């Protein structure tokens, strides 16, 4: 990419970013820093994504900024204890979460028990929609592997009430991939729902990574489709690369804004 193209991609991607801290050592001080980074001189990210115990803190810190607060449930294992997942979801919503990122019970799906996944997604969707929030369903595509099964999981999640399809937790060996993205975006296109979103997550760190996923989204859905309500990047380090590009400097790998 030339400098003008790089600048355009960086500006576009910044507003589509779910700035994420799902590290095991995350602390309240780290959430203070994350929330401060969410608003840059070049614009704000779409959301921060963090563990449920930090939702109330982030909600207070980001009040009035327009930055959404997203949190994860059934994370990262994608278990089958739906009552526990519902309790976790309800607590997060009560603390102010705008978006819930639910790990689908993908092992049950792979074991030939899709009804477990379908019922859990539907139950969480009901809670989320009643609260006026949005539901992202994490398929864990790297663990599913087979692209036909990725398609089937995507279709199941859409039918059960997902507002977004999300690739990955970022906690497994294989996370987001362009191949899985194409399949998931095709399911979205075929659904006829222009409000249904897509979120690649895990391993997206560079401007080139961001450009590749935006190109796939544009090809599948049209150049005007990817906006904060329909497209997000789940990443922790990508913001530094985007800000560095916008400021005309090399990304030094630091924390930046």
> What would the pLDDT profile of 207-238 be if each residue is shown by its tens digit?
999 999 999 999 999 999 999 999 999 999 99
- Output the six-digit token pair for 176: 């987001």
Candidates 101, 163, 209, 251; catalytic one: 101
Among the listed residues 163, 166, 240, 251, the single catalytic one is 166
pLDDT at 136: 98
Say whether 136 is catalytic: no
Tokens 């979460």, located at residue: 97
Extents of the domains making up the chain:
3-246
Q: Residues 199, 209, 240, 251: which is the catalytic one?
A: 199
- Specify whether 98 is catalytic: no
Per-residue pLDDT tens listing for the chain (257 residues): 888 899 999 999 999 999 999 999 999 999 999 999 999 999 999 999 999 999 999 999 999 999 999 999 999 999 999 999 999 999 999 999 999 999 999 999 999 999 999 999 999 999 999 999 999 999 999 999 999 999 999 999 999 999 999 999 999 999 999 999 999 999 999 999 999 999 999 999 999 999 999 999 999 999 999 999 999 999 999 999 999 999 998 775 544 33
Is 101 labeled as catalytic in the residue annotation?
A: yes
CATH of 3-246, one of 3.20.20.70, 2.60.120.380, 3.40.50.1820, 3.40.630.30: 3.20.20.70
Of the candidates 51, 46, 45, 13, the residue with the CA atom closest to the CA atom of residue 31: 51
Paired tokens of 138: 């994490």
Output the CA–CA distances (angstroms, integers) from residue 159 to 60, 142, 186, 229, 240, in the order listed: 34, 21, 15, 19, 36
Write down the pLDDT at residue 74.
98
Q: Is 240 in contact with 204 (CB distance < 8 Å)? A: no
Do 161 and 99 meet the contact criterion of CB atoms below 8 Å apart?
Answer: no
Which letter does DSSP use for residue 52 in this model? Answer: G
Of 150, 88, 145, 80, the C-alpha closest to 115 is 80
């Amino acid at each position: 990419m030339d400098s003008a193209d790089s600048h355009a991609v960086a500006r576009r991607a910044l507003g589509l970013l779910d700035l994420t801290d799902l590290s095991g050592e995350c602390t309240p001080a780290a959430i203070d820093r994350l929330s401060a980074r969410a608003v840059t001189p070049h614009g704000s990210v779409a959301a921060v994504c963090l563990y449920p115990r930090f939702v109330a803190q982030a909600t207070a810190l980001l009040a009035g900024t327009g930055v959404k607060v997203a949190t994860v449930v059934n994370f990262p294992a994608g278990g089958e204890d739906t009552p526990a997942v519902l309790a976790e979801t309800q607590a997060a919503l009560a603390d102010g979460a705008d978006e819930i990122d639910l790990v689908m019970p993908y092992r049950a799906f792979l074991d030939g028990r899709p009804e477990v996944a379908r019922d859990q997604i539907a139950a969480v969707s009901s809670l989320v929609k009643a609260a006026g929030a949005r539901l992202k369903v994490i398929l864990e595509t790297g663990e599913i592997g087979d692209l036909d099964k990725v398609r089937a999981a995507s279709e199941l999640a859409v039918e059960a009430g997902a507002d977004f399809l999300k690739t990955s937790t970022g906690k497994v060996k294989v996370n987001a991939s362009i191949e899985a993205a194409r399949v998931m975006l095709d399911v979205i296109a075929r659904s006829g729902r222009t409000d249904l979103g897509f979120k690649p997550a895990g391993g997206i760190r560079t401007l080139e990574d961001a450009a590749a996923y935006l190109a796939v989204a544009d090809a599948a859905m049209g150049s005007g489709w990817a906006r904060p309500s329909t497209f997000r990047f789940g990443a922790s380090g990508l913001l530094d690369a985007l800000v560095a590009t916008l400021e005309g400097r090399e990304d030094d790998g630091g924390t930046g804004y």
